[in-house]
C-alpha cells in the first residue's frame, strides 16, 4: 500500500491493511463496509459522518460513517468508496486509503461492518443523497472523545446500556461507537 499524504503516512502503521481487515471474519449474515473519512482542520483531526433519514427502514435517524452493503463480487474497499460517493458525493480519487479497522457486527440487523480509514482534504463539498442522508456532519475527534460516556438507551422497546459519544446534539452509539472506540485506541500513539 503506497501512502503519500502525511496524515495517511502517520496512520498507516497504526491500522490494519485493507487486505488484513477483509480477511477477518465477524458474526453477521450480510457483509458491509464503511469509509471513515478523516481530515485535519485547525490542528484537530475530524471525521465525516452522516445522519440517516428518519424514514429509512434500517438505522433510521442514526449517525454513522458513509457505507452500506457489499454488492456481489465487489471488493469491500470498493464498497466503502462506492457508498461514500453515493451517500455524500465523495469521489474515490479524492480519498487516500490509510488502512482499515477490524470488522464489527451489528446486533439487530446482523451486518458485518468492515471499516476502511481514508484521508481527505478539509475543503470537501458534500452532495448528500436525498434518499438516504439527512445531514453530513464533520465532527472533531478530540471533542467526540471528550463526549464519551455510557448511557441507557431504549430501542425497539428494549432498554440497554451502551457506549455513546455526544457532541453538539449528535449521539453516536452502536457499531459506529465501537468503530470510533477502536479508532481512538489506535490514535493514542499520535496524541490525537
Return per-residue pLDDT of the chain as tens, 192 residues. Answer: 444 588 999 999 999 998 899 888 887 789 999 999 999 999 999 999 999 886 766 666 689 999 999 999 999 999 999 999 999 999 999 999 999 999 998 877 788 999 999 999 998 899 999 999 999 999 999 999 999 999 887 776 777 788 999 998 899 988 999 999 999 999 988 875
Q: How far is CA 132 from CA 12, 63, 100, 106, 124, in A?
A: 31, 12, 24, 19, 19
Whether residue 172 lies inside any domain: the answer is no
Q: What is the spatial distance between Cα 86 and Cα 130, in angstroms, rounded to a whole number?
A: 10
All three cell numbers of 170: 449528535
Q: How far apart are the first and last CA of the chain?
A: 23
What CATH number did the domain enclosing 93 receive?
Answer: 3.90.79.10
Domain boundaries, position 39 = 6-140
Q: What is the spatial distance between Cα 70 and Cα 169, in angstroms, rounded to a whole number?
A: 31
Place of cell 481530515: 39
* Predicted structure pTM score: 0.91
Whether residue 14 lies inside any domain: the answer is yes
Whether residue 30 lies inside any domain: the answer is yes
Does an H or E element contain 78, and which? Answer: helix 76-88
Q: What is the spatial distance between Cα 104 and Cα 32, in angstroms, rounded to a whole number?
A: 10
Whether residue 49 lies inside any domain: the answer is yes
All three cell numbers of 9: 503516512
Place of cell 487486505: 19
Going by the DSSP 8-state scheme, the letter that residue 17 receives in this structure is -
Domain total for the chain? 1
At residue 82, what are phi and psi to the nearest 5 degrees? Answer: -60, -45
What is the CB neighbour count within 10 angstroms for residue 101?
25
Q: What is the spatial distance between Cα 109 and Cα 69, in angstroms, rounded to a whole number?
A: 12
Whether residue 98 lies inside any domain: the answer is yes
The residue among 21, 30, 4, 32 whose CA lies nearest residue 117 is: 21
Amino acid at each position: 500500500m503506497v501512502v503519500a499524504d502525511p496524515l495517511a503516512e502517520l496512520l498507516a502503521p497504526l491500522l490494519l491493511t485493507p487486505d488484513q481487515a477483509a480477511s477477518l471474519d465477524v458474526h453477521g449474515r450480510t457483509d458491509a463496509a464503511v469509509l471513515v473519512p478523516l481530515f485535519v482542520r485547525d490542528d484537530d483531526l475530524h471525521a465525516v459522518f452522516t445522519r440517516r433519514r428518519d424514514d429509512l427502514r434500517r438505522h433510521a435517524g442514526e449517525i454513522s460513517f458513509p457505507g452500506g452493503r457489499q454488492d456481489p463480487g465487489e471488493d469491500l474497499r470498493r464498497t466503502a468508496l462506492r457508498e461514500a460517493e453515493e451517500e455524500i458525493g465523495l469521489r474515490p480519487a479524492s480519498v487516500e486509503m490509510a488502512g482499515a479497522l477490524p470488522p464489527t457486527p451489528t446486533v439487530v440487523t446482523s451486518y458485518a461492518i468492515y471499516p476502511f480509514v481514508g484521508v481527505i482534504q478539509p475543503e470537501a463539498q458534500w452532495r448528500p443523497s436525498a434518499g438516504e442522508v439527512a445531514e453530513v456532519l464533520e465532527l472533531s475527534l478530540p471533542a467526540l472523545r471528550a463526549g464519551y460516556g455510557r448511557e441507557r438507551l431504549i430501542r425497539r422497546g428494549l432498554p440497554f446500556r451502551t457506549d455513546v459519544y455526544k457532541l453538539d446534539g449528535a449521539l453516536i452509539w452502536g457499531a459506529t461507537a465501537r468503530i470510533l472506540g477502536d479508532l481512538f485506541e489506535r490514535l493514542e500513539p499520535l496524541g490525537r
